């Protein structure tokens, strides 16, 4: 399986030479091409990529809005994502359900809900090609069934929004705002006091890889810290964080290719 990082930029205003296009990961296997996510930057350009299938993680602009004029191939997404993409003129629509494996162009996809957005619920994909297993989650705070998602995976492709400082907020319904004391508690354990949305850190994701025995991690969907910073310095920082946890870690860039 060949993996090409078509784009590696998150939903931010700045760009750089290495991170120009919205995050999209292309899997090539036995002559077939599967594109994971097709954000706003890929509007109309998706036809030149010539994918055989497109798989959507969630319906945010930088992950799905490239399909607003349609798709050159079948598109796979969850019910929540299809609800948000209902106006898109996509002819061949396929539904993905949690923990229900589906064969797409010779690759076995298993959908795992992840915590990221309240309005556009996101998922990650455990993808199997023969004896090779990878897990892909472009935007994430946590994986709801992490052990099952990462078991025996050789590669984790994750969220590069931040290296060490989480971008996480907690939502409380109007009229149900917590007391000041409860809100202070939410900063320590937000999962008990409100619904979370945002992005966890590269450091935290490397901790998951260490605990689940995943030997390699690559980070895409890069945030302002990486896109606007010194790539060599920040990549060295990510490599060091990985080495401390026994994980080979790097930051992806637009056009980067690897073969598993």
Both structure tokens of 42: 């890929």
Sites in the chain below the pLDDT cut of 70: 171-194
Q: Which residue has the tokens 């349609």?
A: 70
The per-residue pLDDT for 205 is: 98
2-166+201-259 CATH pick, 3.60.15.10, 3.40.50.720, 1.20.1050.10, 3.40.640.10: 3.60.15.10
**Alpha-carbon span 154 to 215, nearest angstrom:** 6
Contact 55, 34 (CB under 8 A): yes
Pairing mode, strands 132-136 and 122-129: antiparallel
Q: How far apart are CA 190 and CA 192, in angstroms?
A: 5
Q: Give the pLDDT score at 194.
A: 62
Domain boundaries, the chain: 2-166+201-259
Q: For residue 254, give Cα distances in angstroms to 64, 87, 221.
A: 18, 30, 10
* Contact (CB, 8 A) for 84 and 100: no
Q: Give me the pLDDT at residue 192, please.
A: 40
**Kind and range of the H or E run holding 81:** helix 79-84
Say which DSSP state 201 is in: -
pTM recorded for the entire structure: 0.91
Q: What is the pLDDT of residues 164-195, one digit of tens each?
A: 999 988 764 444 443 333 333 333 334 444 68
Query: Could you give phi then psi for residue 206, rounded to 5 degrees?
Result: -65, -35
Q: What is the pLDDT of residue 110?
A: 98
How far, in Å, CA of 9 to CA of 7, rounded? Answer: 6
Residue written as token pair 């296009």: 21
């Amino acid at each position: 399986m060949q993996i090409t990082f078509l784009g590696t930029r998150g939903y931010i205003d700045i760009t750089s030479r290495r991170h120009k296009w919205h995050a999209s990961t292309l899997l090539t296997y036995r002559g077939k091409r599967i594109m994971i996510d097709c954000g706003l930057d890929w509007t109309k350009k998706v036809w030149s990529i010539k994918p055989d299938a497109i798989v959507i993680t969630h319906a945010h602009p930088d992950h799905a809005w490239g399909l607003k004029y349609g798709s050159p191939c079948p598109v796979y997404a969850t019910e929540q994502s299809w609800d948000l993409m209902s106006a898109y003129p996509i002819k061949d629509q396929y539904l993905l359900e949690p923990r229900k494996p589906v064969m797409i162009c010779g690759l076995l996809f298993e959908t795992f809900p992840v915590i990221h957005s309240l309005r556009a619920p996101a998922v990650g994909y455990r993808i199997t090609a023969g004896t090779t297993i990878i897990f892909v989650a472009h935007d994430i705070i946590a994986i709801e069934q992490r052990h099952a998602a990462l078991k025996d995976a050789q590669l984790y492709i994750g969220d590069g929004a931040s290296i060490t400082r989480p971008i996480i907020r907690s939502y409380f319904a109007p009229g149900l705002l917590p007391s000041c004391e409860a809100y202070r508690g939410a900063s320590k354990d937000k999962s008990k006091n409100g619904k979370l949305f945002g992005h966890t850190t590269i450091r935290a994701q490397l901790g998951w890889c260490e605990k689940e025995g995943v030997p390699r991690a690559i980070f895409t969907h890069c945030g302002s810290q990486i896109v606007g910073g010194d790539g060599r310095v920040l990549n060295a920082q990510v490599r060091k964080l990985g080495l401390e946890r026994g994980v080979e870690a790097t930051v992806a860039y637009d056009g980067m290719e690897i073969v598993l």
